[in-house]
Structure 1
């Protein structure tokens, strides 16, 4: 069977459908219409002489033959793309459209104030920055790289740790004046607490306190449950209750006395920040450049106690 551009294009479209799970999402990734995607797959099936996808009104999934075709073709197409990039020098050129899905706190405190430096360094690069608390489906949504706090879930994404930052338990002076200061973590059971809902699980984050290898869980009651980090912080500053925050970016509020760290003798709990991108043998230069830029901002693998001065911030 002669191999031509139509066969390669059809295989690329088929891979996008399998990886995204639908014709509509594949169309977004490929910049095509859903009907165009469907026709391309139909032509591929006619060309290879076997049905590759089961189609229903609710879902699209690969047949047994389609799964085998995907497993054999996916690495070949990845190799062709990598070879083309290397032959043309594109793998070393940082340019084009980079879609980033980033945690709101990291975007606001670290990335946004310095993103202009990356754009100045690479004039042919343009960045679409989405604030999102969950990684989501990068392939289906056409996202090049995501940045999120927390331990990575098992997936086919490549993961790179950027930093770890301490977890602080804090309150405003106004709250402490009205309700008193808890002397130990267990005293939180008698206080008003502000909880944050984990976007990935839909449940409030559990509170733990770490010291010299000891872990003390405390099932704190909440008087307020929020799903936005900014709202949680503002409510705490206004005296609505005690909350837990990441140390990253909190130093100005602590230094000004607007927030008080309640348990500095329990300093051991840290929370990691990771970058995620789709698994590829050769990630695009724009993705590598973005991750390297983030590492330069925070210091590779450093544990960040409070907001620190980044290189060039003087």
Structure 2
């Protein structure tokens, strides 16, 4: 198989057109088109569906592109490891994480990493959709909840404590909560439906005692921030990460319900595909984020102790 043709095909996909790929590769459009056609003939399948205005990958083309991307990255990293440029960190990282985790916790660390390594580019997607890490060619995913796929490597960075909270106005209207048995209609929840955050909710524990809650809801949202805003507005009981509640406890805008009862801790992990050779930029990126998260946890613990 012609490795140049593979590189040209990958460039066509990334540029979205034969013309732009030819310009970036300093080749003629006809050469680029011919190389892709030869690759398709060699594989015996059509990789790209062409039209006058755009091009679309076939299912076979999509799968082949993901494999090509990984192969080219491995070849690039192998070259760096055995040449004088081995200290140079460069290339692209495709990173996906839940919205709040990215915006409220990790965004600043990512910005600082890019300042340290200006030859690295990051494609960052903040989303609460369900993702296919391997199928979508994702280099790193920040997952909230347990990781069960044996094809993935998971490095846990934190365990999140969740609290049951409500506004004073809500409790005044619907009644105070003194025991788990009080969690029944007319009380209702602000329900979070979020495929990216796979965590059990409404399971209370106190020593050997356990209690499961299943409240109806009037409002269903897909982000933790939306749930927090609705809860502050008195629209129901919410389950929120502890760090989002502290300032509202201090101001009196939220009340911690049943503080003597615990909820299961939720692991937060960096997840990436199993690989024999991990690109240096990914290895450094993961190590940097983990170090930043550990320092943040230490600062929070010291502040709470004081």
Quote how far apart the aligned CAs of 1:185 are: 2.5
What are the superposed Cα offsets for residues 139-172 of structure 1, whole Å, 9 maximum, x if unpaired? 5545432212112242633322111111211111
Match of 2:147 among 130, 143, 152: 152
Match of 1:251 among 246, 255, 265: 246
Match of 2:274 among 279, 288, 297: 279
Count of aligned positions: 283
Quote how far apart the aligned CAs of 1:104 are: 1.5
Match of 1:193 among 180, 189, 193: 189
CA–CA separation in structure 2 for the residues paired with 1:220 and 1:230: 20
Report if aligned partners of 1:206, 1:219 keep a CA contact under 8 Å in 2. no
Partner of 1:22: none
What are the superposed Cα offsets for residues 216-243 of structure 1, whole Å, 9 maximum, x if unpaired? 3222211211112211110001111101
CA–CA separation in structure 2 for the residues paired with 1:139 and 1:165: 26
What are the superposed Cα offsets for residues 65-86 of structure 1, whole Å, 9 maximum, x if unpaired? x99xx99x99987764442231
TM-score, scaled relative to structure 2: 0.72
Partner of 2:236: 241
CA–CA separation in structure 2 for the residues paired with 1:196 and 1:307: 29
Quote how far apart the aligned CAs of 1:123 are: 3.5
What are the superposed Cα offsets for residues 9-64 of structure 1, whole Å, 9 maximum, x if unpaired? 456789x8xxxxxxxxx964x545499999767634644xx7468999996359xx
Report if aligned partners of 1:27, 1:34 keep a CA contact under 8 Å in 2. yes
CA–CA separation in structure 2 for the residues paired with 1:34 and 1:137: 28
What are the superposed Cα offsets for residues 88-147 of structure 1, whole Å, 9 maximum, x if unpaired? 366643334433222122122212344443233333334443211235234554543221
Partner of 1:60: 59
1:149 to 1:42, Cα distance in 2 relative to 1, 3 A = same
Question: Unaligned 5+ residue runs, structure 2?
Answer: 22-31, 50-55
The 3-state SS of whatever aligns with 2:225 is: helix
What are the superposed Cα offsets for residues 159-206 of structure 1, whole Å, 9 maximum, x if unpaired? 2211111121111122122222212223222212111002259x9964
Question: Unaligned 5+ residue runs, structure 1?
Answer: 1-5, 17-25
Alpha carbon RMSD of aligned pairs, Å?
4.3
Partner of 1:294: 289
CA–CA separation in structure 2 for the residues paired with 1:166 and 1:192: 22
CA–CA separation in structure 2 for the residues paired with 1:103 and 1:289: 21
Report if aligned partners of 1:195, 1:204 keep a CA contact under 8 Å in 2. no
The 3-state SS of whatever aligns with 2:96 is: strand
The 3-state SS of whatever aligns with 2:300 is: coil
Report if aligned partners of 2:154, 2:272 keep a CA contact under 8 Å in 1. yes
Partner of 1:308: 300
> 2:179 matched to 1:184?
yes
1:9 to 1:257, Cα distance in 2 relative to 1, 3 A = farther
The 3-state SS of whatever aligns with 1:85 is: helix
Matches within 5 A, 1:103-182: 103-134=98-129, 136-138=131-133, 141-154=136-149, 156-182=151-177
CA–CA separation in structure 2 for the residues paired with 1:81 and 1:274: 27
What are the superposed Cα offsets for residues 261-291 of structure 1, whole Å, 9 maximum, x if unpaired? 1122122411111212233222223222222
Partner of 1:94: 89
